[in-house]
Amino acid sequence: MAKIVPFKAVRPTRDKVCLVTCRSYEEYVNAELAAQLDFNPLSFLHILKPAYTNQETVSFEKRYRQVHQKYEDFKNEIILVKDKKPAIYIHKIVTKTQSFTGIIVGTSVADYCNNIIKKHEDIIAFRVRLLKDYMKYSEFNTEPVLMTYPDNKTIENWIFNCIQKLADFEFSTTKKEIHYLWKIEDALEINWLQNIFEKTQSLYIADGHHRTEALKLLSEENDNPQNTAKNHILSYLISENNIKIYEFNRLVKDLNGFTKEAFLQELQKEFIIEDKLQQAFQPSRKHEFGMYLDHSFYSLNLRNENEIFETSLDRLDTQILYKKVLLPILAIEDLRDDERIEYLSGKQSILELQNKIDQEEFEIGFILFPSNIEEIKALADADLIMPPKSTYIEPKFRSGLVVYEL
């Protein structure tokens, strides 16, 4: 039931690809961003931030039109070139510890509206409108929505055979990742893959909920029936067993007026607490939590191990921590906007969490066990929403590698 389509991608030329592609704009600290913009004239960051050399304050619309103009400049200078035939693309990322391989295609906005493409995260309306306007005026999208499909041996074997051929692109990044891209433009092969996905009941958004919703709005505003590009979502489809899900750990600035002793007494009503002293502790299973407070690590285990959870949301560790600790004891109601709480991805060492607390930026930290794909699917199937900052999911796609024109 899931529909996929090929498209004519705009891509860097082979000799320039390692200089053009970049990480997502938000991932750069200011000094690194400035260095890229100052010393690499081919970086896609010049498209994403075209006013860098002219730091005037402009409206969103004017800035987005500048993005489009800079994008056109890159095409005119033959830095970016549009493929002549519609194609699908296989992309492989090899890091120091693992590799990811997926398929870049267009998926259907209608499938998203009809819940064939399923979501598990909440969205912020203002951010969605900004993204919609950005894509409307820039007229392109270069950040695919990461979606998972059920493990499929037929697709796995097909990908394996495809990637035995010489890649169209092969390049390394400063993060010591190796990227490969293969273009598949044979019509019979594409049709065969489309038929495979038509038998797939659902696709699940892993990362890119705001972008998907923005593309839905853009499609609804489309008054040109000839422009079918706006009816599709640039997507990176990856097998469920090939994504990596990290937790987001929680840092809180105070104990809501409790002393350490009184706080621990409150915790003991719901958790069995074990003081690990200076031994860094990381949970090894669901419903087990780590905590760092006053130079000591603690393990927290639910006191009622046989507690009955009514929904898949209630069983989530992030929801358990919210319902039993953050809300009733620490009075943190809004996980997204409360200034007393911040988040640290599980990709970062818990020693960084320890360091932030020891330096008195925060008073307490909570360490979680990561969610899994089955929990994400259960939530999506039940039309439930994860708490904010529940998962950090890889792979992450590089901007400028594949551009989808709208």
Is residue 33 located within the same domain as residue 162?
yes
Mean pLDDT of 273-300: 95
DSSP classification of residue 231: G
| 83-105: pLDDT as tens digits | 999 999 999 999 999 999 999 99
What is the DSSP secondary-structure string of 156-184?
HHHHHHHTTSPPSEEEE-TTS-EEEEEEE
Is residue 61 located within the same domain as residue 165?
yes
Is residue 34 located within the same domain as residue 14?
yes
Is residue 223 located within the same domain as residue 97?
yes
Could you tell me the pLDDT band of residue 227, with boundaries at 50, 70 and 90? confident
- Residue 52: predicted pLDDT: 56
Is residue 54 located within the same domain as residue 95?
yes
Could you tell me the pLDDT band of residue 309, with boundaries at 50, 70 and 90? confident
Could you tell me the pLDDT band of residue 136, with boundaries at 50, 70 and 90? very high
Is residue 27 located within the same domain as residue 106?
yes
Is residue 87 located within the same domain as residue 135?
yes
The owner of tokens 């958790």 is: 271
What's this model's pTM, rounded to 2 decimal places? 0.93
Is residue 279 located within the same domain as residue 334?
yes
| 376-393: pLDDT as tens digits | 999 999 999 999 999 999
User: Domain for residue 378, yes or no?
Assistant: no
Is residue 112 located within the same domain as residue 68?
yes
Provide CB contacts within 8 A for 120, sequence distance 6+. 204, 205, 209, 376, 379, 380, 384, 385, 386
In 99-177, alpha helices (H): 109-113, 125-138, 153-162
Measure CA of the first residue to CA of the last residue in the chain; give whole Å: 24
User: Domain for residue 273, yes or no?
Assistant: yes
Q: How many domains does the chain have?
A: 2
Q: Up-side HSE of residue 334: CA atoms within 13 Å toward CB?
A: 5
Of 388, 336, 344, 346, nearest in space to 362 by CA? 344
Whether residue 61 is predicted with pLDDT greater than 60 in this model: the reply is yes
| 351-379: pLDDT as tens digits | 999 999 999 999 999 999 999 999 999 99
The owner of tokens 């990596």 is: 244
Domain of 361, in residue numbers: 248-369
Mean pLDDT of 11-36: 92
| 240-258: pLDDT as tens digits | 999 999 999 999 999 999 9
* pLDDT, averaged across the chain: 94
Is residue 138 located within the same domain as residue 236?
yes
Between CA 113 and CA 131 the distance in angstroms is: 18
Between CA 234 and CA 89 the distance in angstroms is: 11
User: Domain for residue 283, yes or no?
Assistant: yes
> Tokens in use for 48?
């994403």
The domain that holds 359 is classified in CATH as 3.30.1760
Is residue 266 within a helix (H) or strand (E), and if so which, with residue range?
helix 260-267
User: Domain for residue 139, yes or no?
Assistant: yes
What ranges make up the beta strands (E) of 134-270?
A: 140-141, 145-149, 169-172, 178-184, 203-207, 232-239, 244-246, 248-252
Is residue 205 located within the same domain as residue 303?
no
Is residue 310 located within the same domain as residue 360?
yes
